Amino acid sequence: MKKFLAMSILLSLAVCVFSVYASAKRKRHVKIAHVVYPANHYWDWGSDPIYWYPDPVDGDFYYSYASYNDYETKKNKTNAALSEIDLLEKRKAESEKAKKELAKIKITEAKFYKQYATDSPAVSMAEIILKNNSNYTVTAVFFRGKLTTPKSGKILIDGDFKCDLPEPLEPGSEKIYEIALNDFAGWAKVKVSDIAKFDVSIIGLGVSAGTVYVNAFSNNDQKKLDALKKKYID
């Protein structure tokens, strides 16, 4: 009876020691560099599986007791980030090309005024003179305009508007266009004298070949691209 009791105590101690060892081992997460075999898993002495898997970023292999779902989540998140980086890079390249084309169309003069009639509401108008220094015919122009008071510089409106040119702007030509702005958000409500400062820039072009040039890459896009590249590539 005493021998049986002693054996039971020794067996219990062995189980406790093994449990402590297995628990400590499960907490480890060790990086193994340049392992050449494919991702799989095997079972340790304990009840939890050890997983071998490649890191989605650097390609090195790890083993861990963590769930394989953690690896899949990390891999999917990384792949999504890399796809977004690729999309932003393409949009940036297209916008750089568009900026070069937009620079060939010059605004030589721009005026804002109110057109009044006795039997209808006043119409906000823009008079813009465009010069075409490109080798294609322009059929539509997308503008960004800003009105500010002459003394204080207070911004009265900062918004976009478009003009489908009634007379296409041929290469080398210069024309005056009168654009009614009431159909564009906010412009009809502007109450300002004709001496307000009117700043206009071109943000997009439509040309006769059906091509549209638009600078669609913003400062926020650049910040996002830099952050993603720093986290997932650099």
Phi-psi region of 34 (alpha: psi -120 to 50; beta: other; left: phi over 0): left
CATH number at residue 179: 2.60.40
Q: Rounded CA gap, 73 and 55, in Å? A: 12
Q: Which of 74, 96, 118 is the last residue of a domain?
A: 96
Cβ burial of 232 (10 Å; 0-12, 13-18, 19+) is: middle
120 and 192 assigned to the same domain: yes
The angle, 0 to 180 degrees and rounded to 10, between the axes of the packed helices 219-232 and 68-102 is 140
pLDDT of residue 4: 53
Same-domain check for residues 109 and 175: yes
Its sign, for the CA torsion 188, 189, 193, 197, is negative
| The last residue of a domain, from among 67, 96, 125 | 96
pLDDT of 182 reads 80
CA distance 188 to 177: 18
Q: How many domains is the chain partitioned into structurally? A: 2
Q: How far apart are the first and last CA of the chain?
A: 69
Are both 177 and 136 inside the same structural domain? yes
**Non-local CB neighbours of 65 within 8 Å, separated by 6+ positions:** 26, 27, 28, 29, 44, 48, 49, 50, 51
Per-residue confidence (pLDDT) for residue 176, from 0 to 100: 97
Together in a domain, 122 and 135? yes
The pLDDT value given to residue 68: 56
The pLDDT tens digits of the residues spanning 113-142 come to 888 888 888 889 999 999 999 999 999 999
What pLDDT is attached to residue 56? 54
pLDDT at 47: 47
Q: In whole angstroms, what is the distance from residue 19 CA to residue 31 CA? A: 24
* 226 close to 220: Cβ distance less than 8 angstroms: no
Q: Do 185 and 133 belong together in one domain? A: yes
Single out the residue in 96, 117, 144 at which a domain terminates: 96
Domain span at 139:
101-219
Helix%, strand%, coil% for the chain, nearest 5: 35, 40, 30
Q: How open is the CA angle 71-76-82, to the nearest 5 degrees?
A: 125
Q: Is 229 inside any structural domain?
A: no
Q: Are residues 113 and 176 in the same domain?
A: yes
Q: Find out whether 102 and 205 touch, Cβ atoms under 8 Å.
A: yes
Same-domain pairing of 89 and 40 = yes
Q: What is the pLDDT along the chain (234 residues), one digit of tens a residue?
A: 555 555 666 566 555 555 555 454 444 433 333 333 344 444 444 444 445 555 555 555 554 545 556 767 777 888 888 899 999 999 899 888 888 989 999 999 999 988 888 888 888 999 999 999 999 999 999 999 999 988 888 898 999 999 999 999 999 999 999 999 988 888 888 877 656 889 999 999 999 878 888 887 888 889 998 999 998 887
